[in-house]
Chain A
Amino acid sequence: MATWRPDPTFYPSPRMAMKAPAETLAYVASFDPTRLVPDAISVVDVDPGSSTYSQMVGTVPMPNAGDELHHFGWNACSSCLCPNAPHPHSERRYLIVPGLRSSRIHILDAKANPREPKIVRVLEPAEVAERSGYTRPHTIHCGPEGIYVAALANAAGDAPGGVFLMDHESFDIRGRWEIDRGPQRLAYDVWWHLGYDTMVTSEWGLPATFENGLDPEVLLGGRYGHKLHFWDLHARRHTQEIDFGAENQLVFELRPAHDPTKAFGFVNSVISLKDLSASIWTWYREGDAWAVRKVIEIPAEAADPEALPPMLKGFAAVPPLVTDIDLSMDDRFLYVSCWGTGDLRQYDVSDPFAPKLTGTVRIGGIVSRASHPKAGKDALNGGPQMVEVSRDGRRVYFTNSLYGAIDEQFYPEGIDGWMVKLDADPAGGIAFDRDFFVAWPKTHRPHQVRLEGGDCSSDSYCYP
């Protein structure tokens, strides 16, 4: 229902969004890797003044088991204030929660009780496939034409994956987004530069190559995604493809600058076939086209094969496995999750072509099994994975599971879920909040985090 004044969580510019009040709740996708117990959206109290700080205060179980909740997002956000397609009186109220494995999409209303959102609609897999032509819905972004969903496969579970649109008020699926997809076949993440009318998409692989875990043959053959795609956001046409080379496998998370006048962004490649390193690339505008440059390379660390899972024994090294990155609202700090080694790194990217490492913490890790002040002496498994940054840039949250079937390939005993928080110094530097450690229920593992009112990977802006 429309309101009389704009939703107070909508901000015209990232500069104004940085002044938003601190979040008090975090929503976390939580899934059962055995697919016996229904997945859930867990609600974590992140208000340091609250008596239940650092505790799970709500759980919203899905109606079915085996969805594999992964990424999710809001129905509406700051892009509703855009001048060319204004919807300022929509509400940021509903969480759009897809099951990556089931292709079912759940709509949760968080307005009446933010600690216990209510499921108000479920779009069944057959309806999603029929209306959108796609399955395996992944990234959710609120944007100029409603809700954009990146999906990894077509209705038959095969190539091409792509993007479809949902109505941000009725949640009906409006259909495939692309008018001309050009050479694009694989899909993963989606985001855009509103100031340049440009959409960007990245690549993972097809369900057959990840739903039973990463396929070493496909990986070593360089056949997972290794390209970026650029699109005309309003004409819905593919305009350019940039190939990182087959050695740079799994081109994942897209983090365009929040300032709409800046034409650059960051993306991670999880692993290099050359030396198991991981890399971060900057894409940028060069003349009339987009270009990329590798700006960070994180090397693998030598390790005793005894301490390594079967998949890595032959390499005698731990790959950093950079599986997620996140950019602060002022486009100054880039946070980098090294799920393999256990590092969570902070880089100053004021110069997007010359990042400077300004902080590192280590927790979990395939070999290091580093602990946390509040977890006592327990060795922790899993590693920094989905990372989310508060709008003011002072708090960083992350969880430790990547994907059910892949977790066991790198952490063979399985993953005991946890969520932690870092305090970030505005001048650079990060440290654990010693009071914040959420041990996950044994039945479930945590994945993406969304913060109440918006965060650094939820909203896009039309004004600098």
Chain B
Amino acid sequence: MTLQTAWPWLTFAGLGLFHGLNPAMGWLFAVALGLHRHSRRAVLLALPPMAAGHALSIWLVAASVMAVGAVVNAPAIHLAAGSILMVWAGYHWLYGHRHRVRVGMTAGIGGLAVWSFLMATAHGAGLMLVPALVPLCASLPTVGRASLLVSLAAVAVHTLTMLVATGLIAVVVYEWLGLAFLRRSWINFDLLWTGALVATGLVLIITA
């Protein structure tokens, strides 16, 4: 595998790390549940449903891009996806704070999966993967088994890195670090996130 073929996969993994680092994507919720239930088990049990919700949200975007990419030419998909990302960034910046809260501290497995799905979708997490997905679908002739497998593989790579990052941070914070550091160190991920959405959108439009 050359760098040329490896970079999309490295991007999926890198974005998994970025998503996993964001307290709003899951590790903080896992820590809170552990603190409420006085158990490290609760921290660990929260991770799979959150990963599942995140993966589903990402996969819906990935599969859509693959499907559209098979019938539309690359410049068009670049332009369309880039524009969607820019609009999403604007929406996220202006209205990101007013989402309806549907899941709270008594959440079960289903609730956590739903929460994670909604969080990832509302944040446009899947959209960030689009620049790396487009060259992959360009290499595939039609929609079919191959594109399904590629989209699933992309989601798997992304979700696994995210799960590892989320799990590591959650356990370290729960066992050793505690939450006091949040007061100083919880930097504005929303700002970074919006920046990432805008940057991704720009890259897509410029390369159209």
Q: Are A and B part of the same complex?
A: yes
Shortest distance from the beta carbon of A195 to any chain B beta carbon, whole Å: 5
Q: Which of A1-29 contact B (CB under 8 A)?
A: 2-6, 8, 10-13, 16
The interface centre, meaning the residue of A88, A169, A233 with most chain B CB atoms within 10 A of its CB, is: A88
Q: Which of B20-41 contact A (CB under 8 A)?
A: 23-24, 28-29, 31-32, 35-36
**B residues near A168, Cβ cutoff 8 Å:** 97
Stretch at the interface among B61-69, B128-136, B146-154, B187-195: B187-195
Q: How far is the CA of A219 from the CA of B97 in the complex (A)?
A: 44
The interface centre, meaning the residue of A11, A13, A462 with most chain B CB atoms within 10 A of its CB, is: A462
Shortest distance from the beta carbon of B26 to any chain A beta carbon, whole Å: 8
Q: How far is the CA of A90 from the CA of B97 in the complex (A)?
A: 9
Q: How far is the CA of A377 from the CA of B103 in the complex (A)?
A: 57
Does the CB pair B23–A83 fall under 8 Å?
yes
CB-CB nearest in chain B for A90: B97
Shortest distance from the beta carbon of B86 to any chain A beta carbon, whole Å: 19
Does residue B145 face the partner (Cβ distance < 8 Å to A)? no
Q: How far is the CA of A11 from the CA of B100 in the complex (A)?
A: 23
Does residue B1 face the partner (Cβ distance < 8 Å to A)? no
**A residues near B103, Cβ cutoff 8 Å:** 84, 234
Shortest distance from the beta carbon of B50 to any chain A beta carbon, whole Å: 11
Q: Which of A153-191 contact B (CB under 8 A)?
A: 167-169, 174
Does residue A145 face the partner (Cβ distance < 8 Å to B)? yes
Shortest distance from the beta carbon of B182 to any chain A beta carbon, whole Å: 6
Does the CB pair B32–A83 fall under 8 Å?
yes
What residues of chain A have their CB less than 8 Å away from a CB belonging to chain B?
Answer: 2-6, 8, 10-13, 16, 81-90, 144-146, 167-169, 174, 194-197, 233-234, 260-261, 462-464
Does the CB pair B32–A2 fall under 8 Å?
no
Does the CB pair B23–A86 fall under 8 Å?
yes
Does the CB pair B180–A462 fall under 8 Å?
no
**B residues near A462, Cβ cutoff 8 Å:** 32, 105
CB-CB nearest in chain A for B23: A86
**A residues near B23, Cβ cutoff 8 Å:** 83, 86, 88
Top-6 shortest CB links A-B: A197-B104, A83-B29, A83-B28, A12-B179, A85-B101, A83-B32
CB-CB nearest in chain A for B29: A83
Q: How far is the CA of A124 from the CA of B25 in the complex (A)?
A: 39
Shortest distance from the beta carbon of A280 to any chain B beta carbon, whole Å: 27
Does the CB pair A5–B105 fall under 8 Å?
no
**A residues near B176, Cβ cutoff 8 Å:** none
> Of A2, A6, A234, A464, which one neighbours B104 at CB under 8 angstroms?
A234
CB-CB nearest in chain B for A165: B98
> Of B28, B100, B183, which one neighbours A145 at CB under 8 angstroms?
B100
Q: Is the interface of B mostly helix, strand, loop or mixed?
A: helix
Does the CB pair A260–B182 fall under 8 Å?
no
CB-CB nearest in chain A for B38: A261
**A residues near B31, Cβ cutoff 8 Å:** 83
Does the CB pair B115–A84 fall under 8 Å?
yes
Shortest distance from the beta carbon of A284 to any chain B beta carbon, whole Å: 16
Shortest distance from the beta carbon of B10 to any chain A beta carbon, whole Å: 28
Binary contact readout B98-111 vs A (1 if CB under 8 angstroms, 0 otherwise) = 11111111110000
**B residues near A90, Cβ cutoff 8 Å:** 97
**A residues near B115, Cβ cutoff 8 Å:** 84
**A residues near B102, Cβ cutoff 8 Å:** 234
**A residues near B180, Cβ cutoff 8 Å:** 12, 16
Q: Would you give 26 A-B contacts (Cβ < 8 Å), ordered by A?
A: A3-B188, A4-B187, A4-B188, A6-B184, A12-B182, A12-B183, A81-B186, A83-B24, A83-B31, A84-B103, A84-B105, A85-B99, A86-B23, A86-B28, A87-B97, A90-B97, A144-B101, A144-B104, A194-B104, A195-B105, A234-B101, A234-B104, A260-B36, A462-B32, A463-B32, A464-B36
CB-CB nearest in chain A for B26: A83
Q: How far is the CA of A174 from the CA of B32 in the complex (A)?
A: 29
Binary contact readout B79-113 vs A (1 if CB under 8 angstroms, 0 otherwise) = 00000000000000000011111111111000000
Given A86-B28, A463-B35, A463-B179, output 17 extra A-B contacts at Cβ < 8 Å.
A6-B182, A11-B183, A12-B182, A16-B180, A82-B32, A83-B28, A83-B29, A84-B103, A84-B107, A87-B97, A89-B188, A195-B36, A195-B105, A197-B104, A197-B106, A234-B103, A260-B36
Q: How far is the CA of A263 from the CA of B183 in the complex (A)?
A: 26
Shortest distance from the beta carbon of B47 to any chain A beta carbon, whole Å: 13
> Of A6, A144, A167, A260, which one neighbours B183 at CB under 8 angstroms?
A6
Q: How far is the CA of A89 from the CA of B189 in the complex (A)?
A: 9
CB-CB nearest in chain B for A195: B105
Does the CB pair A5–B32 fall under 8 Å?
no
**B residues near A84, Cβ cutoff 8 Å:** 29, 101, 103-105, 107, 115
Does the CB pair A196–B106 fall under 8 Å?
yes
Does the CB pair A261–B36 fall under 8 Å?
yes
Does the CB pair B101–A81 fall under 8 Å?
no
**B residues near A10, Cβ cutoff 8 Å:** 183
**A residues near B101, Cβ cutoff 8 Å:** 84-85, 144-145, 234
Does the CB pair B106–A6 fall under 8 Å?
no
Does the CB pair B97–A81 fall under 8 Å?
no
Q: Which of B177-208 contact A (CB under 8 A)?
A: 179-180, 182-188, 190-191
Shortest distance from the beta carbon of B98 to any chain A beta carbon, whole Å: 6
CB-CB nearest in chain A for B99: A85
Shortest distance from the beta carbon of B185 to any chain A beta carbon, whole Å: 8
Binary contact readout B166-177 vs A (1 if CB under 8 angstroms, 0 otherwise) = 000000000000
Q: How far is the CA of A144 from the CA of B104 in the complex (A)?
A: 9
Q: How far is the CA of A462 from the CA of B115 in the complex (A)?
A: 16
CB-CB nearest in chain B for A167: B98
**A residues near B28, Cβ cutoff 8 Å:** 83, 86
**A residues near B106, Cβ cutoff 8 Å:** 195-197
Shortest distance from the beta carbon of B72 to any chain A beta carbon, whole Å: 36
CB-CB nearest in chain A for B27: A83
Shortest distance from the beta carbon of B118 to any chain A beta carbon, whole Å: 10
